[in-house]
Chains A and B, each alone.
Chain A
Amino acid sequence: MEDVQTFRRELKENLVDWLQLMDKTADDIKDEEPLFKEGLGLDSLDAVEIVIMMQRKYGIPQSAVENKREIFATFASLADFIMANRTK
């Protein structure tokens, strides 16, 4: 069983890389901080990018995240969802 901390670290690095967060590193992403508006300060276009990243890197179909804003509340909620639903 994959270690949660290891997966979260990998996911943070993937987010920084995919979203091209020039002024951020994986260490800057806090587990319980909001992802959007405050905290990491992502916007709606980033939300789509995250969904595409989830599909391409973790095999999670887009239909699985439609209308489920709670997944995107914090980094921790996003990581938990991906861990539970990944097929890659």
Chain B
Amino acid sequence: MNGGNDTLSASRGNKWGIGFFRLLLKCGGFGFAVWFSRIVAWFYARFDRKAFAVSEEYLKLRFPEDAGNRRKMRRHFHKLLCELAKNLLISYRMGSGDKLPLEEEGVEYLPPADGSGVVVVFAHFDCWQAAMELMNLKSDRVINIMARPDRNGNFDKFLALHDRRDFNVISTDGFSGGLIEASAALERGEVVIVMGDRPVPGTAEIEADYLSGKIRLPLSPWMLAARSEVPAIPVFAELMEKPRRIVVTYCRPITFKAAAGRRIRPDDLKEGVAEYVKELEEAAMRQPYRVFRFGDEPAARNGGGNSGK
């Protein structure tokens, strides 16, 4: 599920780090673990140049007024890391059976179970992984999730994402990146969950205006929806306090005009992608430190991806 070869959370979630946080939760409880993680986050913010580099892309877009000020950028980075750590702790608690209450808003946008398939588009925002543990999605239909096998096996267990037994996993490592299987699932009227905010290196991308600059997004969610003539529904999960709960919001469906007798072109998808980017922007404005969309390191950016034809 983690996009990219070396995402921040995957590469830093090694066996010792995960074990340490497990111990903190067990000995000190959630509040203590969150407090302690802020200290750990400070060290990463101060000394982990690679982590800072992959976060800079988003932080500069969100806080362009501070882009030239290293000290302010590191402060933003520290706040982001604190939220990330809290997020991971919540995901772990969920995986251990300590479920948070979940509210779902906009469920009416999901097509009925005997209706068409639907592409549900997640973003690396807030507690998206915890939400997947709980969300209902009107699950009287088959739910598929397009995911890459997590290279960091320990981290996979930590998040317990794959404990969700009612999800079929369509591996994106396979031939066609899982798209043929996803297309067949949509034709059967099933749900296909896909990440929409970060392209896998080497796959087709589309560029859009985002915050103070540009963002590159994967083409596949939109192409799947357009080709299968089903709606794409962006979903955002947010941790709310007092009382602590997760609110999953299904946004208005994005639909595309069918392209009869020819392949879908990126131009066919631009309007729909722009609608999605608006939702991403609103999320970033609402909760700037809960956007966990980490870019490639600067050296990798020059050689990755290809534009949709």
Contact = CB atoms under 8 A, between A and B. Distances in A.
Contacts, number: 69
Given A20-B263, A67-B181, A49 B227 contact: yes
Dominant secondary structure at the A interface: helix
What's the interface size class on A, roughly?
A: 20 to 34
Nearest to B202: A43
Contacts of A17: 262
A9 B203 CA distance: 30
B262 A47 contact: no
Interface residues of B, number: 26
A47 B263 contact: no
Nearest to B223: A45
Nearest to B177: A44
Interface in B203-231: 203-204, 219-220, 223-224, 227
Contacts of A20: 262-263, 265, 309
A88 interface: no
A53 B95 CA distance: 42
B28 interface: no
A48 B180 contact: yes
Interface string A47-58: 111011000100
B26 to A, nearest CB: 42
B262 A51 contact: no
Contacts of A63: 184, 187-188
Contacts of A61: 187
Interface of A: 17-20, 36, 43-49, 51-52, 56, 61-63, 65-67, 69, 72
Interface of B: 174-177, 179-181, 183-184, 187-188, 203-204, 219-220, 223-224, 227, 261-265, 306, 308-309
